[in-house]
């Protein structure tokens, strides 16, 4: 993407700042973020930053493309304050889209979630039935339904929702450090091991995730805008690794030998997502995108700053 004027909401956070910085090389990039989980320090100088909430009435929405990543992005955040979760994730999306649309913008890419698939040891296609077991999942499903409305009601809009699968980068470098306890489990485990501490694993460590490097997620997000897609698309790798394997690979890469501590899972089993894996064939067919960072390379990148 080149020569476009774009707005990235949530753009000082983890995925958002990686996206904004990548876009800033060839585009006029504006970021809106309330700094709940981000910091302006994540952004390169070329990015125009506005400390605002997506609920504000005066967003800098006079742009060509809207990348809407702003969200309360975990189950815990929503259970602690369900009203705020709904306002930010649902009303904030509608507010940003309305202001963008009123300025004549026509291309929207927004973040939804793979959590709505629940437990899957087989690849999850976008066509499968999904459910809301938590407030977080309910808010993202609501966002998808509003996106569907906008795409159907306004013919000029392209509206693509991306269900990201377990995005990671690492806490030693990059923007993920600012997520703290909400950082990806790879980032948390690596930081614990590198600092001589045993990482905690819920249950027996057999749970799996489709871990997707943030560089691949950024590439996919930009491609969705370039292709002016409409609909729901998975962004993942189609592979899954269990937590015990993650710890073993991190120990090998860091040169440590620290065993994890197994603790009781505090999350109710009927809402805990034990396994995830993406079917990305729909998105690959639409854009030609494929993940470029293997899991082995991703582990190396996470660990490199510590070694």
Per DSSP, the residues of 38-58 read --GGGS-TTSEEEE--TT-S-
Same domain membership, residue 216 and residue 76: yes
Same domain membership, residue 231 and residue 246: no
Question: Is residue 182 in some structural domain?
Answer: yes
The encoded tokens of residue 83 equal 């009203």
pLDDT tens for residues 117-157? 988 889 999 999 999 999 999 999 999 999 999 999 999 99
Q: How far apart are CA 126 and CA 233, in angstroms?
A: 6
- CATH no. for residue 27? 3.40.50.720
Same domain membership, residue 204 and residue 71: no
Same domain membership, residue 119 and residue 178: no
Active site includes 117? no
pTM equals 0.96
Q: How far apart are CA 147 and CA 160, in angstroms?
A: 8
Domain span at residue 82 reads: 5-166+212-235
Same domain membership, residue 110 and residue 30: yes
Question: Is residue 286 in some structural domain?
Answer: no
Same domain membership, residue 57 and residue 138: yes
Quote the distance between the C-alpha of residue 177 and its chain's center.
14
- Look at residues 38, 40, 44, 50 and name the one whose alpha carbon lies nearest to residue 13: 38
Catalytic residue among 136, 150, 164, 168: 136
Question: Is residue 287 in some structural domain?
Answer: no
pLDDT tens for residues 152-211? 999 999 999 999 999 999 987 778 887 878 889 999 999 999 999 999 999 999 999 999
């Amino acid at each position: 993407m080149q020569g476009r004027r774009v707005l990235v909401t949530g753009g000082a956070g983890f995925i958002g700042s990686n996206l904004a910085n990548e876009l800033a090389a060839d585009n006029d990039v504006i970021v809106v973020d309330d700094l709940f989980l981000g910091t302006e320090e994540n952004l390169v100088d070329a990015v125009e930053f506005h400390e605002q909430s997506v609920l504000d009435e005066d967003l800098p929405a006079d742009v060509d493309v809207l990348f809407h990543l702003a969200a309360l992005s975990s189950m815990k955040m929503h259970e602690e304050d369900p009203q705020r979760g709904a306002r930010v994730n649902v009303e904030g999306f509608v507010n940003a889209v309305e202001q963008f649309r009123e300025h004549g913008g026509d291309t929207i890419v927004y973040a939804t979630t793979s959590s709505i698939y629940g437990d899957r040891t087989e690849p999850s296609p976008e066509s499968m039935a999904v459910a809301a077991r938590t407030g977080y999942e309910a808010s993202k499903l609501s966002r998808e339904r509003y996106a569907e409305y906008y795409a159907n009601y306004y013919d000029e809009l392209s509206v693509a929702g991306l269900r990201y699968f377990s995005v990671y980068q690492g806490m030693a470098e990059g923007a993920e450090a600012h997520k703290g306890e909400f950082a990806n489990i790879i980032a948390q485990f690596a930081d614990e091991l590198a600092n001589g501490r045993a990482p905690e694993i819920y249950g027996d460590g057999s749970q799996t995730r489709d871990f997707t490097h943030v560089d691949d997620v950024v590439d996919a997000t930009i491609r969705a805008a370039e292709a002016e897609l409409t609909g729901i698309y998975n962004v993942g790798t189609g592979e899954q690794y269990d937590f015990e394997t993650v710890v073993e690979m991190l120990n090998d890469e860091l040169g440590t030998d620290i065993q994890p501590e197994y603790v009781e899972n505090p999350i109710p089993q009927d809402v805990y997502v034990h396994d995830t894996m993406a079917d990305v064939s729909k998105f690959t067919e639409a854009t030609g995108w494929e993940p470029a960072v293997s899991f082995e390379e991703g582990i190396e990148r996470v660990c490199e700053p510590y070694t």
